[in-house]
Amino acid sequence: MDFTGTRAEIQQRMAATRDLAARRMAVLHELSPRRGERILEIGCGAGLLLREIGLSVGAHGLAAGVDISPDQIAAAERECDGVPGVRAAVGSIAGLEWPDAVFDAAVAEHVLEYLDDPRAALFELRRVMKAGARLVVLATNWDADFWHGPEPELTNPVVAAWRAEVPWPNLPAQLGPMLAAAGFSATRQVPVPVVNSGLGEDTVALWMSRLLAVAAEESGAQARPASWLAALDRADAAGEFFYSSVPILTTAVAV
């Protein structure tokens, strides 16, 4: 999936919400970056997590961020300006510039589900990780996302358009065997749920609805995203809006 232009802007607004700040803290806690470590983040987006990793590993460590979108890397460079040890670069997980076995840990936050070939990405991650290195993956089972407010006739086609665009819409459910095949063990999974009963600027629901609307608009499907967004606003004004999502945090160790 392409995260440039409008999509990058929406994704960056979403990443800056209180909801995603809390989610990022859960990822950071699981990753547990230590002073002097070399840590790789793929699909680093606007660099909010990368900055935290950089602050944790310090000047003698390395927080390497890679993203395929130049718009996202430009934002990441702004975000991480002045944090020693951070290196953000345009690149693809399909072929990293790094030699074998250099990283102590790696992280992918909402990235693998958007790739055509997450299996190949896991092999490439394993290649650049040391034996014993920690991997943290955050991804959503999109079939468990729940929107309440608008009539289902408006919601369902928009959600279907998004689901059709995400190559691996229920990746967490499939990740265990993929990790084992790529050379990881000790897989553990925990939920990082979010619930929004309103559509404030600080909610993931607001920005996710905008992203879904863009995807539905561009899909040319039967969906009516503008009407859906208006119905969400009406439901919110009436106090009848609800959204829940259950991203899954998966951790594993390179063997």
Q: Least Å distance between CB 112 and ligand SAM?
A: 9
Which residue in the set 31, 53, 88, 111 belongs to the binding site for ligand SAM (CB under 6 A)?
A: 111
Alpha helices in 58-202 (DSSP H): 70-79, 118-128, 152-165, 171-182
Instruction: Give, to the nearest 10 degrees, the angle between helix 204-219 and helix 225-237.
Output: 160
Range in contact with ligand SAM (rule: CB under 6 A) among 109-117, 147-155, 159-167, 198-206? 109-117
The reply to whether 113 sits near ligand SAM by the rule CB under 6 A is: no
Between residues 24 and 38, which has the closer beta carbon with respect to ligand SAM?
A: 24
Q: In the set 55, 77, 92, 180, which binds ligand SAM (CB under 6 A)?
A: 92
| Residue in the block written with tokens 């407010």 | 149
Closest CA to 2 of 224, 219, 226: 219
By CB under 6 A, residue 251 contacts ligand SAM: no
Residues 6+ apart with CB under 8 A from 133: 103, 104, 105, 106, 253, 254
109 binds ligand SAM (CB under 6 A): yes
List 93, 129, 136, 206, residue binding ligand SAM (CB under 6 A) = 93
Site for ligand SAM in 24-63 (CB under 6 A): 42-45
For ligand SAM, which is the closer residue by CB, 16 or 173? 16
Structure tokens at 80: 């991480």
Regarding 249 and contact with ligand SAM (CB under 6 A), the answer is no
In the list 62, 68, 249, 254, the residue contacting ligand SAM (rule: CB under 6 A) is 68
Q: Kindly state whether residue 66 participates in binding ligand SAM, applying the rule CB under 6 A.
A: yes
Q: Yes or no: say if 129 and 188 are a contact pair by the CB < 8 Å rule.
A: no
Cβ contacts of residue 65 below 8 Å, gap of 6+? Answer: 40, 41, 44, 47, 50, 73, 76, 80, 86, 87, 88, 89
Pick 42 or 215: Cβ nearer ligand SAM: 42
Closer of 15 and 178 to ligand SAM (Cβ): 15
Say which residues have a Cβ less than 8 Å from residue 161's Cβ, sequence separation at least 6: 212, 215, 216, 219, 221, 223
Smallest separation (angstroms) from ligand SAM to the CB of 7: 9
Among 72, 140, 141, 196, binds ligand SAM (CB under 6 A): 72
| Contact flag: residue 19 with ligand SAM (CB under 6 A) | no
Q: Which two tokens stand for residue 212?
A: 């879904």
Beta carbon of residue 196, minimum distance to ligand SAM (angstroms, whole number): 17
Contact 212, 225 (CB under 8 A): yes
Task: From 93, 135, 134, 139, select the one nearest 117 (Cα to Cα).
Answer: 93
Residues in contact with ligand SAM by the rule CB under 6 A: 3, 11, 15, 42-45, 66-69, 72, 92-94, 109-111, 114-115
